[in-house]
A = this chain, B = another copy of it.
Amino acid sequence: MKKQVIQFLKDNRERHLQELEDFLKIPSISALSEYHDDTVRAAEWVQQELGNIGFHEAKVMESDGKPVVYGEYIADGNAPTVLVYGHYDVQPVDPVHLWDSEPFEPTIRDNKIYARGATDDKGQVFMHLKVMEAVISQDEKPPVNFKVLIEGEEEIGSPNLPKFAEENADMLKADLVVVSDSALVEKGKPTITYGLRGLAGIQIDVKGANSDLHSGEYGGGVVNPIHALVKIVDSFRDENNRIQVKDFYRDIPELSQDERDALAQVPFNEDKLKSDLGVSDLDGEEGYSYVERTSVRPTLEVNGLYGGFQGEGIKTVLPNEATAKITCRLVPDQNPDHIVEQLTQHVYDNAPKGVEVEVKPFDKGKPYVTPFDHPVIQKAAQAYETVYQNDTAYIRGGGSIPIVAELDRILEVPVVLMGFGLPDENLHAPNEHFHLENFDQGMETLAHYFYLLGE
């Protein structure tokens, strides 16, 4: 049966691309309220598509934010159930003038499809739908049951989906969750993201006098909020780039040698990266490789810092306030609430006198990891390798998809992150695109995976 399924995908490629273009034409930008109706249209498009491909159930459901699309196709009560999670919303398109073709007029050039959402995540959601269509239409006894959960707020941090998933946990019950919203580490290299970093952040506001002061009259006498903030921020790390916040590393288990060995296999070209970024050196926490530092080690990065005069030339002002925005990427088993508490305490402990310091927390997300030797991960690798004819890279993503950890917590099943994008596909940037070779090979991989899960 698998053979017919794959043949069906090949035979229907042209139609599929036209349907994908229809999906990509909807400007379902979740961050901008003027596109609200378009996000609803995108949800309805997915619902209708679920009906078209033969799902028994397909509905647009209310949440506290954008609508959520849910559908299911239960073939056999004894077969394993796969829940596919994805999102129909996309990033804003500014600056529009840097796009070579209109962001919502999909265009194929050099076997790549250009459009906002092409790789993140409409293209990859669409692949799942088409593989399911192929399985349902070609196989009287599909190997797995399908459930589909497509949300419209991933690009704004999925603020409402955890509550939705908690309230609908029974409906969403499955044996595993599959998410295709990530990328291969490089062309032709199967890649499974078996962990994601969590997120915790704070804003530090330092206030001095009740107005800006003349630096000649008051300089040297009154505490400068920028100096105070710089002192606080500099206290976060030592000369080896180890974070100095108390108990910051407390809950992180030692990396196993197996895991370090696997990470050492991840393709990484330091010279190419330095040349791509235009930097002379890479640097970070001592004792860890670049790949480790950007995936399995926590970070503390200042995302923004500002105070005082920013115009051209000089203004001899002693500013009265300064602000820093800081986020940490967290790894298991760091707890975001604990980290925010420790960061906050660290700031107060290091605040110089003569200024008022306030700390505000930002939204948080838990780190996530599935053991990479778990059977559902190993079967995904097998499916990839059958199609791509290449070993799988097991990586832990440096970024955060907070909803992944939430789904893991609420549904208590493993989450498999098998993406088909590529690192240079400009997601969140102008000229987002998706390589059609991965559209084709990815669908074939998913077909193999569903059959492997059913064995």
Chain B residues within an 8 Å CB radius of A316: 199, 201, 301, 303, 327, 400
Cα(A308)–Cα(B327), bound, Å? 13
- Among the stretches A16-24, A99-107, A278-286, the one at the interface with B is A278-286
Select A314's contact among B201, B218, B398, beta carbons within 8 Å: B201
Chain A residues touching B, range: 35 or more
Given contacts A294-B218, A314-B201, contact A307 B308 (CB under 8 A): no
A374 at the interface (CB under 8 A from B): no
Q: Tell me if A303 and B315 are in contact (CB < 8 A).
A: yes
- Among the stretches A48-56, A338-346, A349-357, the one at the interface with B is A349-357
Select A282's contact among B199, B222, B277, B284, beta carbons within 8 Å: B222
Q: Tell me if B213 and A399 are in contact (CB < 8 A).
A: no
Q: Tell me if A307 and B305 are in contact (CB < 8 A).
A: yes
Q: Tell me if B318 and A215 are in contact (CB < 8 A).
A: no
Cα(A282)–Cα(B220), bound, Å? 9
Chain B residues within an 8 Å CB radius of A203: 314
Q: Tell me if A279 and B208 are in contact (CB < 8 A).
A: yes
Q: Tell me if B219 and A294 are in contact (CB < 8 A).
A: yes
Chain B's closest residue to A401 (CB) is: B216
Q: What are the 8 tightest A-B residue pairs by CB atom distance, in nearest-first order? A: A216-B399, A304-B308, A304-B309, A220-B299, A234-B234, A210-B278, A209-B277, A281-B354
Q: Which residues of chain A from 339 to 384 have any CB-CB distance to chain B below 8 Å in the complex?
A: 352-356, 362-363
Cα(A255)–Cα(B228), bound, Å? 29
Cα(A43)–Cα(B309), bound, Å? 31
Select A233's contact among B217, B230, B298, beta carbons within 8 Å: B230
Q: Tell me if A309 and B314 are in contact (CB < 8 A).
A: no
A-B contact pairs, 26 of them (CB 8 A): A199-B316, A210-B277, A210-B278, A213-B277, A214-B428, A215-B301, A215-B329, A216-B329, A216-B400, A220-B294, A220-B329, A221-B284, A222-B277, A222-B279, A222-B283, A224-B301, A227-B237, A230-B302, A234-B234, A280-B353, A301-B318, A303-B309, A303-B319, A306-B308, A308-B325, A316-B327
A128 at the interface (CB under 8 A from B): no
A417 at the interface (CB under 8 A from B): no
A317 at the interface (CB under 8 A from B): yes
Q: Tell me if B305 and A398 are in contact (CB < 8 A).
A: no
Q: Tell me if A279 and B219 are in contact (CB < 8 A).
A: no
